[in-house]
Amino acid sequence: MERIMVGSATKVAFTLLATFAIVIPCLEAGIAEFDDFLKAQADEAHKIALDSYVPEPHDVAHELNFHVHMALENSTRRELRQRKLRGGGKCQASNPIDACWRCNKDWANDRFRLAKCGKGFGRRATGGLGGPIYVVTDNSDDDMVNPKPGTIRHAVTQKGPLWIIFGHSMIISLRQELMISSDKTIDGRGANVQFRGGAGLTIQFVNNVIIHGVRIKDIVPKDGGMIRDSADHYGLRTRSDGDAISIFGSTNIWIDHVSLSNCADGLIDIIQGSTAITISNCHMTKHNDVFLFGASDSYNGDKIMQITVAFNHFGQGLVQRMPRCRWGFVHVLNNDYTHWLMYAIGGSSGPTILSQGNRFIAPNNDNAKEITHRDYAGPDVWKNWQWQSEMDLFMNGAKFVTSGSPIKMTYKKGLIMKPRDGTHVSRLTRHAGALNCFVGKPC
């Protein structure tokens, strides 16, 4: 692989959204000057989002359920074989994303393989697949407009597909939010890469991004200024909120094996018509507002939002929003919820939430046993919202309040199988968070 070393007719129902006039609230977007370049970029991003929308989202859920079954069955066979032949101790990958790449000891020479492993709504994200590899060697972040070659800011604003890796372990304290352009992979495997104590990562009006294998913590708001967002453009930004990862008007995004904690605002915010997104194998700790999907009850452009949340560990010190949803369709599959102080899954504006095979361990507080929380609507309204629980495991008094008509699921014999129940979650999420990968060994 080349290296750069530098320091459908079924969519008719959505015609109304296709013709929806995009009104970008510039302050919310962090844009101080919405120039012609950004207007064109926003229009293109919206077209891609509509094209990526799946009219029958249940089909995507079915497909993922099938792969979960296959991965668990194959993992069990491997474990039995290892105990019989070698006494065990070998790499075990029991969820379908990890099974695709993690036990390959030659992963460092086959990094592009990861791009073919995505599942769920973000399965089409290939990031920098087919482009050159860019090695970040410098953790500095001194120039927002003309970033220094070898830095992460220089890498993410280059033209075309780019697979970004790191020459060594490093802590990166961003002076301003990191604006990531389309067709990029940030791949932290083989190094301990931490974004810490500075601004967060922003994915705005772009398509096709993978973020994998990094740690993001202690992100804080930063004053605005002139910031480069692509090779051909920089613009004036307002003050950033302090999100770890902000996804705004973007499509085909996959966030995998990322560790997140203790940021000033949200850990992951997905808003303003973003869709085709998967968050998988991540580990979250020590935070209040964890995931926000849809920022406004008045912005129905988020009806196209489709997000998969799978194989994640919601760990110690979390309060709420795992996720908190507006509009859209969210598939919450085989996650481990071991801690919350207020609630786990919430929402408003009638989102569809399909919860399958998760483990929910309620806190000891009797007032916080309920997993679900609905805002800005009485029971006479939210009773029609489709919130469904299937094969979830409820512990310590946890309870999921369902609502709405059943979400129709068709399991085809020999092809689509029912999801694994919550008793399997500890295996499926065992390796959540950034992995310690070493060259020449499986991760």
Residues 227/237, Cβ–Cβ less than 8 Å: yes
* ∠ Cα 112 113 119 (to 5°): 115
Name which residue leads in pLDDT, 33 or 49: 49
Residue whose pair of structure tokens reads 């085809």 in the numeric block? 412
CB 19 within 8 A of CB 293: no
Q: Which pLDDT score, from 0 to 100, does residue 69 have?
A: 61
pLDDT of 74 reads 64
Length of the chain: 443
**Domain residue extents for the chain:** 6-55+103-344
Does domain 6-55+103-344 correspond to CATH entry 1.10.10.10? no
Q: Please check the confidence at residue 71 and state whether its pLDDT lies above 80.
A: no
Give percent of the chain above pLDDT 90. Answer: 76
Q: What is the pLDDT of residues 75-119, one digit of tens each?
A: 555 543 444 434 445 787 889 999 999 999 999 999 999 999 999
CB 190 within 8 A of CB 108: yes
In the predicted model, is pLDDT for residue 231 greater than 50?
Answer: yes
- More confident: 60 or 211: 211
H or E, element range at 428: helix 425-428
What are the DSSP calls for 46-109, one per residue?
HHHHHHH--S-HHHHHHHHHHHHHHHHHHHHHHHHHHHHHT-S-S----SHHHHHHTT-TTGGG
Q: Lowest-pLDDT range, 83-87, 124-128, 153-157? A: 83-87
The one-letter amino acid at 94: S
Query: How many whole angstroms from its chain centre is CA 102?
Result: 19
Q: Taking all residues of the chain, what is their mean pLDDT, rounded to a whole number?
A: 89
Q: State pLDDT tens for residues 268-295.
A: 999 999 999 999 999 999 999 999 999 8
The confidence score (pLDDT) of residue 101 equals 96
- The percentage of residues in the chain with a pLDDT greater than 70, rounded to a whole number, is 86
Q: How confident is the model at residue 417 (pLDDT cuts 50, 70, 90)?
A: low
Least confident interval from 44-48, 169-173, 175-179, 262-266: 44-48
Q: Could you tell me the pLDDT band of residue 331, with boundaries at 50, 70 and 90?
A: very high
* pLDDT at site 418: 63
pLDDT at position 325 is 98
Give the bridge partners for 165, in sequence order.
135
**Residue 24 confidence (pLDDT) above 70:** no
Q: For residue 420, indicate whether it is catalytic.
A: no
C-alpha pair distances (Å), 358 with each of 290, 354, 398, 420, 431: 17, 11, 12, 9, 16
Output the pLDDT for position 180.
98
Pairwise CA distance, residues 68 & 76, whole Å: 12
Average pLDDT over residues 51-67: 77
> Integer distance in angstroms from the first to the last C-alpha of the chain?
21
Question: How many other CB atoms are there within 10 angstroms of residue 55's CB atom?
Answer: 12
Which pLDDT band holds residue 253 (cuts at 50, 70, 90)? Answer: very high
pLDDT band for 57, please (50, 70, 90 cuts): confident
Asked if the model's pLDDT at residue 202 lies above 70, the reply is yes
Among 430, 436, 313, smallest CA distance to 71 is for: 430
Q: What is the mean pLDDT of residues 130-158?
A: 98
Output the pLDDT for position 26. Answer: 45
The pLDDT confidence band at residue 60, using thresholds 50, 70 and 90, is confident
pLDDT of residue 258 exceeding 80: yes
Rounded CA separation 217/238 (Å): 22
**Which position among 321, 326, 374, 420 bears the catalytic label?**
321
